[in-house]
Amino acid sequence: MASVNENFLKLPESYLFSEIASRVNKYKEAHPDSKIIRMGIGDVTLPLPKAVTEALHKAVDDMASSSSFHGYGPEQGYAFLRETILKNDFTDRGISIEADDIFVSDGAKSDTGNIGDILGADNVIAVTDPVYPVYVDTNVMGGRAGELVDGKWSKIIYMSCTTANGFVPSLPTERPDVIYLCYPNNPTGTTLTRDQLKVWVDYAIENDSLIMFDAAYEAFITEESVPHSIYEIPGAEKCAIEFRSFSKTAGFTGLRCGYTVVPKTVTAKRSNGDRVSLNRLWNRRQCTKFNGTAYIIQRAAEAVYSQEGKAQVREMLNYYLDNARLMKQSLTAAGLEVFGGVNAPYLWMKTPDGISSWEFFDKLLNELNIVGTPGVGFGPSGEGYFRLTAFGDKDQTKVAMQRIRDWKIED
Ligand code: MLT
């Protein structure tokens, strides 16, 4: 008889955003006339930039002609996209990685989840807390998490990020093998400066730890002191893997495209102590389990870097950042303590009067018909916090903020 991967049975019944969707659907069924404003999952609302849709149309035409048809593509991504990424995201920023360090994929969620395939089951994992749930859940699936005790997995190191430390994690006291960092941060919307990130790169080199750096929100950075890539920090090319996404940058949540950088200089050890290149292993993994991102999607991603594409993407990002600014002002005016929203599309706030994250979720849904994400869903240190996204339609965002400003929270 087939047996299951028991690790899956350790996980809570549903993924955070599925749980929220199900609660909202139930509410909507009971209150069909409610005008719900969704600020929960970080899904974009603006249509794709024109440069992208034009590239899509053209790529579809390519597929309709035998002279320009594309079947299976390279598992690592087409050279035209890898070279374009290399130039725009790295070389032009003074970072020296190589095109074959870049692996194009169907998104950062898949890659941050799948990367565990090339890691041993005995690695000790560290995450910031609160954290994007994919890092934790996939390590549970991979047997690296231990048991869930009081909201924490027994083998995972949690690095708390709260108002107490200004959302800057302290170095762990116990040495981890793998450290997940996401900056600009999901869910808190906070950042690390170049100097603060250097502390982590230096620590990783000194302790032979591997950093998984999720930079899915780098396009939202507005402040000069915040690094766009971990490879801006000397030494990171020896100890870090970086994940990037076109989802939030260019509205690709429904198209699916991202990429992962695995410099050939990043290694980890095998049981006999020899070092192995992770680029080689990731390449092997991708060639076996992935047949490449669709040609038309890669052409769309390439268009993000054209002159028109860059201008249109900038406009989209400014639209969401304007939402974030308005939200920060309104939430602060409503007496809430708010963080993030300057270099990120997320606003992270303290729930009023110390009520729990889920209580606040229910209150906001029932009393204001606004959906957000309970902080505790991102980890134990998220209890007493709440996340709203700035990815909404501008008018809807204004309505939501008006509802909050008019709200008697203390009632
Ligand atoms: C979020 O809301 O945290 C993100 O949209 C989730 C994701 O990117 O998968």
Please work out whether the CB of residue 186 comes within 6 Å of at least one atom of ligand 1: yes
The answer, yes or no, to whether residue 35 has pLDDT greater than 60, is: yes
- Give residue-wise pLDDT tens across range 39-91: 999 999 999 999 999 999 999 999 999 999 999 999 999 999 999 999 999 99
Probe target for ligand 1 pocket from 43, 218, 256, 371, with the most ligand atoms within 8 Å of CB: 43
For residue 221, name the pLDDT band (cuts at 50, 70, 90): very high
CA-nearest residue, atom 6 of ligand 1: 42
CB 283 within 8 A of CB 76: yes
Reading phi first (left if > 0) and then psi (alpha if -120 to 50, else beta), residue 267 is in: beta
User: What residue spans of 364-393 are helical by DSSP H?
Assistant: none
134 CA distance to ligand 1 middle (Å):
9
CA-nearest residue, atom 5 of ligand 1: 42
Structural domains in the chain, CATH included, are 13-42+308-405 (3.90.1150.10), 52-305 (3.40.640.10)
Predicted local distance difference test score (pLDDT) of residue 249: 94
43 CA distance to ligand 1 middle (Å):
7
Helix (H) or strand (E) holding 282: helix 278-289
The mean pLDDT of the chain is: 96
Predicted local distance difference test score (pLDDT) of residue 321: 98
Share of the chain above pLDDT 90, in %: 96
- Tell me which of 5-19, 147-161, 298-312 is least confident: 5-19
Q: Say how many C-beta atoms besides its own lie within 10 A of residue 166's C-beta.
A: 9
Q: Say how many C-beta atoms besides its own lie within 10 A of residue 150's C-beta.
A: 6
Predicted local distance difference test score (pLDDT) of residue 410: 57
Please work out whether the CB of residue 109 comes within 6 Å of at least one atom of ligand 1: yes
**Which DSSP string do the residues of 127-174 spell out, in sequence order?**
EEES--HHHHHHHHHTT-S--EETTEETTSEEEE-SGGGTT-PPPPSS
322-347: average pLDDT: 97
3-state secondary structure 210-243: EEEEECCCHHHCCCCCCCCCHHHCCCHHHHEEEE
The answer, yes or no, to whether residue 150 has pLDDT greater than 70, is: yes
Ligand 1 closest atom vs CA 40: 2
230-234: average pLDDT: 98
- Give residue-wise pLDDT tens across range 103-130: 999 999 999 999 999 999 999 999 999 9
Q: State the Cα–Cα distance between residues 241 and 231, nearest whole angstrom.
A: 9
Q: State the Cα–Cα distance between residues 184 and 190, nearest whole angstrom.
A: 6
133 CA distance to ligand 1 middle (Å):
9
141-146: average pLDDT: 97
CA-nearest residue, atom 9 of ligand 1: 109
180-197: average pLDDT: 98
* 303 φ/ψ angles, rounded to the nearest 5 degrees: -65, -20
Ligand 1 closest atom vs CA 389: 2
- Give residue-wise pLDDT tens across range 267-305: 999 999 999 999 999 999 999 999 999 999 999 999 999
Reading phi first (left if > 0) and then psi (alpha if -120 to 50, else beta), residue 77 is in: left
DSSP label at residue 49: P
Q: Say how many C-beta atoms besides its own lie within 10 A of residue 363's C-beta.
A: 18
Please work out whether the CB of residue 41 comes within 6 Å of at least one atom of ligand 1: yes
CA-nearest residue, atom 4 of ligand 1: 42
pTM: 0.96
6-31: average pLDDT: 90
Nearest C-alpha neighbor of 133 from the set 214, 192, 191, 21: 214
Ligand 1 closest atom vs CA 245: 8
Ligand 1 closest atom vs CA 43: 5
Probe target for ligand 1 pocket from 186, 248, 320, 378, with the most ligand atoms within 8 Å of CB: 186
Q: State the Cα–Cα distance between residues 130 and 290, nearest whole angstrom.
A: 30
Predicted local distance difference test score (pLDDT) of residue 16: 86
Please work out whether the CB of residue 42 comes within 6 Å of at least one atom of ligand 1: yes
Ligand 1 closest atom vs CA 248: 8
194 CA distance to ligand 1 middle (Å):
25
Q: State the Cα–Cα distance between residues 213 and 243, nearest whole angstrom.
A: 6
CA of 48: how far to CAs of 41, 92, 257, 317, 395, in Å?
18, 25, 13, 12, 19
